[in-house]
Amino acid sequence: MSLLGIVIPYWGQSLLRVLGGTVAVLLPAGTIVYLFLFKMMSFMQSRLGPMEAGPYGSMQLFAEVGKWLQKEDIIPERADRTIFKVAPLIVLVSTFLLVAVVPFGPDAYFTNFDAGVFYMLAVSSVSVLGILVAGWASANKYSLLGGLRAAGQLIAYELPMVLAVIGVVIQAGTMNLQLIVNEQNAGSMFGWDGLGNPYILTQFVGFGVFMIAVQAELTQTPFDMPIAESELVSGYMTEYSGFRFLIFFIAEFATAGVFALIASVLFLGGWGVPFSWFSWHSIADVDDWMNVVGPLIMFTKMMALVFVIMWVRFTYPRFREDQLQRFAWKALIPISLLNIMVTAILKVAF
């Protein structure tokens, strides 16, 4: 592999990928927390948010991390100590596993394998285990209830997410995320290839269902029944303090970033620009500089999608538990099944 003319040996590539993975998880998480959670939420409530730490509160993130790191690491007496300690890590690791399949450029990917979509959907449900285990190991009835709610919700919304992605997979004819990017950017709409063929135009139903399901998977506000702080005292996170809580917190927003990355790969054309602009025909033709520009494009698209996720989060009040389940099983799943049927019929017809 060569990047900008420099040939990188295998160990160098591995190092780059590990570093890149860490950056791809932590940088969006930090940006999302500062830009959206601290600032955008405040502006939407007509206040300024943190202003004291650094110019416009830009160092607030470090202050918060420092605060959490110096807090006592409390483990309840009756808690299952080992599992209690491991649970936040399970949640965080699932985020790192998720980012492994996201392509950031023609060569800037962590792995490039054919069952990428399948792997992504499988790994994204690992975090459910972490949350359920965290709720159970805390030996606290609020945590247990929160954990059970989380499990019920995440499983309920896993299905519409899977089904929404199937539409994309049918249209692209591949489960490889890199090839899905290729299909979108090399594609054409009725013979016009000026914009490629981003699947948000054909799979808009799938995109809507996917984004709603992502909102629920992230337990962001209209779907934050599991951590409902006014009734469950933050659910499965009740007993966590200090850096274990911090890990849960980072995982929540890092996963928001990674899901936004995946949504932009599946529906918005990923790292690519429409290939016709530079008269490329497939990934093999794409110039090396896209390895640098690609991540920036991905970052922009991710920010746009996270903006929507957070905007919805800061606008709507919380669903009731039964409404939440009914919405998944009675509205989203039938809609996404219908979407699959229509996509399949159109795919065969054309």
Partner 1 sequence: MPMKPKVPGLFKGLGVTLNTMMTTVTKGANTVQYPHEKEAPPIRARGVIALHEGNCTSCMLCARSCPDWCIYIEGHKELAPPRRAGGAPRKVNKLDRFDIDYALCMYCGICVEVCPFDALFWSPEYEYSEPRIADLLHDKSKLGEWMETVPEAPELEAGADKKGKK
Residue numbers at the binding site for partner 1 (CB under 8 A)? 40, 42-48, 51, 311-312, 314-316, 323, 326-327, 330-331
- Residue 24 CB, shortest distance to partner 1, in Å, is 28
- Residue 328 CB, shortest distance to partner 1, in Å, is 11
Cβ neighbours of residue 217 closer than 8 Å, sequence gap 6 or more:
124, 154, 157, 158, 161, 255, 259
Residue closer to partner 1 by CB (options 137, 324) is: 324
Residue closer to partner 1 by CB (options 14, 315) is: 315
The stretches of 100-140 forming alpha helices (DSSP H) are: 116-124, 126-137
- Residue 50 CB, shortest distance to partner 1, in Å, is 11
Residue closer to partner 1 by CB (options 47, 230) is: 47
- Residue 332 CB, shortest distance to partner 1, in Å, is 12
Q: Which of 179, 184, 74, 76 is nearest to 136 (CA)?
A: 76
126-137 vs 141-172: helix crossing angle, rounded to 10: 180
Residue closer to partner 1 by CB (options 48, 304) is: 48
- Residue 329 CB, shortest distance to partner 1, in Å, is 12
Burial 304-340 (b: 16+ CB within 10 A, else e): ebbeebbebbbeeebbebeebbebbeeebbebbeebb
Residue closer to partner 1 by CB (options 46, 82) is: 46
User: What 3-state DSSP class applies to 89?
Assistant: helix
CB 199 within 8 A of CB 267: yes
